[in-house]
């Protein structure tokens, strides 16, 4: 039996109280601020965000190094990104985000390789600057076609006070002004991976834009040049987005950073418009490009046909009639394909309830795609969102949706057990917990090794994957704990 909005709100409040009752008083008081129910008409979701997690509660967050190396810098394909410090940080974050790229790995592209300075005890005691110099020399010998190097600091680098800026400057001079970027993204900085995104954005500003000058005077601008910002090409997302922009008549001069190159970063100030997908991880550089170079930026959402059409029209509104007509042509061209996808999957997915817990833009942006398939989001939350993310979320969620910021492992399990959604969309750390509970699950960070999910091509794959997860006959062979109890 489905609940009314008022009943849903009451149920959610009781549920929040129930999970908080288990905590010590101080913890309960702190966590209470991060849990709530969305009230229609409010300007935010009523939860506190972007504050330190409580030790011991099993947060799902990552660290600043993960935000810089794993998200922003790692996908730049023609540069070599050194995980600077002990081996584990690089090893466990190795290629895990499936940032697809074109190139010959180990020759002119390096995304799926792991470069680490593999710190040992003596490096911690005596410092690692000499080792870093040696590694840069080795990289130049072994991979002479690399276009630049970044130094991604792990925790010990800041703790022992290594001067990676001095090493980077020295080596850059030695190698004819090569771009070598020291990134102070030690994992302990900030409260989550979010500060790592910001630090990485700032390092592009300071060590790419401010130092590069115009390295590409041969570049010829057109009135239709745009840069895709904040698409990491997971499973090919940026490619399925780029073709739509190109089909409507725009020229994509840069992809930040999935399948992107150093030259694309350097040319971005020449764009006429920056189109921003992941606001959280790249709003900083978009604002900088607007303030310093006068390039406007606009957010878009390429999940599901409803939001794609809205976004194509919004992007087109920055250009002339040729592009506006191009947007309409693209929307009309893909409409029959989208209708066929909806006709096939909506009857199988209609009314199914989904709970999400993801990072970046997805806790809100994917909602439209689920709704295109007749599904309903009953709970959502951000790993590392800020208040401006929760404000943006109000445009997507319905009255009474359960909201949980930086949800703990315990809270998430309790919420899912009580609400019993038909699908949970979250990350690898949650996947097996819920599947063992008998709940269909999709990884909404990595698309569960599938994708792309962006663009019209991506929606067809998204719909198929959600159907495969929910209507998989395997669920009939297992029982959820609550069903056993009945
Ligand atoms: S918190 Fe520090 S040690 Fe842990 S993964 Fe991040 S950089 Fe490495």
Q: Ligand 1 centroid vs 455 CA: distance in angstroms? A: 34
Is the pLDDT at 307 greater than 80? The verdict is: yes
CATH number of the 225-327 domain: 3.40.50.1980
Catalytic residue among 31, 34, 184, 197: 197
34 is catalytic: no
Helices 5-21/25-32 angle, 10° precision: 150
Choose among 64, 68, 54: nearest CA to 24.
54
User: What's the full length of the chain, in residues?
Assistant: 486
CATH number of the 64-190+192-212 domain: 3.40.50.1980
* Encoded tokens for 35: 């849990």
The CA-based angle 140-144-145, given to 5 degrees, is 135
66 is catalytic: yes
Spatial separation of the C-alpha atoms in residues 354 and 348, rounded to whole Å: 14
Return the best residue to mutate from 61, 62, 63 for the ligand 1 pocket (most ligand atoms within 8 A of CB): 63
- Start-end of H helices in 67-128: 87-92, 121-126
- The model's confidence at residue 1, banded by pLDDT at 50, 70 and 90, is low
Provide mean pLDDT across the span 17-32.
97
| pLDDT value for 2 | 80
| pLDDT value for 133 | 98
Q: Torsions phi, psi of 292, nearest 5?
A: -90, -35
Catalytic residue among 31, 97, 242, 445: 97
Spatial separation of the C-alpha atoms in residues 62 and 280, rounded to whole Å: 15
- Start-end of H helices in 179-260: 193-204, 210-212, 237-247
Nearest CA to ligand 1 atom 8: 89
pLDDT: which is higher, 213 or 160: 160
Q: What is the DSSP letter of 44?
A: S
Q: How far is it between the farthest Cα atoms of the chain?
A: 72
Choose among 394, 331, 393: nearest CA to 360.
393
Q: Ligand 1 centroid vs 404 CA: distance in angstroms? A: 25
Provide mean pLDDT across the span 151-160.
97
User: What tens digit of pLDDT does each residue of 219-278 get?
Assistant: 999 999 999 999 999 999 999 999 999 999 999 999 999 999 999 999 999 999 999 999
Same fold for the domain at 64-190+192-212 and the one at 225-327?
Answer: yes
Which atom of ligand 1 approaches the CA of 188 most closely? 1
- What string of DSSP letters covers 9-36? HHHHHHHHHHHHHTS-HHHHHHHHTTEE
Is the pLDDT at 166 greater than 70? The verdict is: yes
User: What tens digit of pLDDT does each residue of 64-90 get?
Assistant: 999 999 999 999 999 999 999 999 999
Provide mean pLDDT across the span 446-459.
97
Spatial separation of the C-alpha atoms in residues 160 and 199, rounded to whole Å: 19
Is 179 strand, coil or helix? strand
User: What tens digit of pLDDT does each residue of 464-473 get?
Assistant: 999 999 999 9
Is the pLDDT at 483 greater than 80? The verdict is: no
The CATH number of 1-61+350-449 is which of 3.40.50.300, 3.40.50.10470, 3.40.50.1980, 3.40.228.10? 3.40.50.1980
User: What tens digit of pLDDT does each residue of 345-361 get?
Assistant: 999 999 999 999 999 99
Across the chain, mean pLDDT equals: 96
Which atom of ligand 1 approaches the CA of 88 most closely? 8
Residues having CB within 6 Å of any atom of ligand 1: 63, 65, 89, 154-155, 187
Catalytic residue among 45, 64, 66, 309: 66
Catalytic residue among 31, 34, 45, 63: 63
Provide mean pLDDT across the span 54-71.
95
63 is catalytic: yes
Is the pLDDT at 313 greater than 70? The verdict is: yes
Spatial separation of the C-alpha atoms in residues 129 and 132, rounded to whole Å: 5
Choose among 119, 51, 42: nearest CA to 393.
42
- The model's confidence at residue 480, banded by pLDDT at 50, 70 and 90, is confident
Domain coordinates of the chain in residue numbers?
Answer: 1-61+350-449, 64-190+192-212, 225-327
Return the best residue to mutate from 65, 116, 188 for the ligand 1 pocket (most ligand atoms within 8 A of CB): 65
Is the pLDDT at 429 greater than 60? The verdict is: yes
Q: Which residues contact 42 (CB under 8 A, 6 or more apart)?
A: 394
């Amino acid at each position: 039996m489905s609940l009314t909005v008022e009943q849903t709100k009451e149920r959610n409040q009781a549920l929040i109280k129930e999970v908080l009752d288990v905590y010590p008083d101080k913890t309960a008081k702190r966590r209470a601020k991060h849990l709530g129910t969305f009230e229609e008409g409010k300007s935010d979701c009523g939860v506190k965000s972007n504050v330190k997690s409580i030790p011991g509660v099993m947060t799902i967050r990552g660290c600043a190094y993960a935000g810089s190396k794993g998200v922003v810098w790692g996908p730049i394909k023609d540069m070599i990104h050194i995980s600077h410090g002990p081996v584990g940080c690089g090893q466990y974050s190795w290629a895990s985000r499936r940032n697809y790229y074109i190139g010959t790995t180990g020759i002119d592209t390096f995304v799926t390789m792991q470069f680490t300075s593999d710190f040992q005890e003596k490096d911690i005691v005596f410092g690692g600057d000499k080792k870093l110099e040696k590694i840069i020399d080795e990289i130049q010998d072994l991979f002479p076609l690399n276009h630049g190097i970044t130094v991604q600091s792990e925790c010990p680098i800041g703790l022992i006070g290594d001067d990676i800026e001095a090493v980077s400057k020295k080596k850059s001079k030695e190698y004819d002004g090569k771009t070598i970027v020291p990134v102070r993204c030690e994992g302990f900085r900030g409260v989550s991976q979010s500060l790592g995104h910001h630090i990485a954005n700032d390092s592009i500003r300071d060590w790419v834009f401010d130092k590069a000058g115009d390295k590409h005077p041969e570049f010829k601008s057109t009135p239709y040049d745009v840069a895709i910002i904040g698409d990491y090409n997971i499973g090919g997302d940026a490619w399925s987005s780029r073709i739509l922009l190109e089909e409507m008549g725009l020229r994509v001069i840069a992809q930040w950073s999935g399948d992107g190159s150093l030259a694309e970063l350097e040319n971005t100030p020449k764009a006429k418009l920056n189109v921003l997908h992941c606001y959280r991880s790249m709003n900083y550089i978009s604002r900088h490009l607007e303030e310093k170079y006068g390039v406007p930026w606009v957010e878009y959402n390429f999940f599901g046909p409803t939001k794609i059409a809205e976004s194509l029209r919004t992007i087109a509104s920055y250009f002339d009639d040729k592009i506006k007509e191009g947007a309409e042509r693209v929307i009309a061209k893909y409409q029959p394909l989208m209708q066929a996808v909806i006709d096939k999957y909506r009857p199988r997915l209609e009314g199914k309830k989904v709970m999400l817990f993801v990072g970046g833009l997805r806790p809100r942006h994917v909602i439209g795609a689920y709704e295109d398939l007749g599904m309903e989001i009953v709970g959502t939350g951000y790993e590392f969102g800020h208040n401006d993310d929760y404000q943006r979320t109000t445009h997507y969620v319905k009255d009474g949706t359960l909201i949980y910021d930086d949800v703990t492992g315990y809270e998430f399990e309790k919420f899912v057990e009580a609400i019993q959604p038909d699908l949970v969309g979250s990350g690898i750390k949650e996947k097996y917990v819920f599947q063992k509970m008998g709940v269909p699950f999709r990884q909404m960070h990595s698309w569960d090794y599938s994708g792309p999910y962006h663009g019209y091509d991506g929606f067809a794959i998204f719909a198929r994957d959600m159907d495969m997860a929910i209507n998989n006959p395997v669920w009939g062979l297992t029982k959820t704990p609550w069903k056993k109890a009945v």
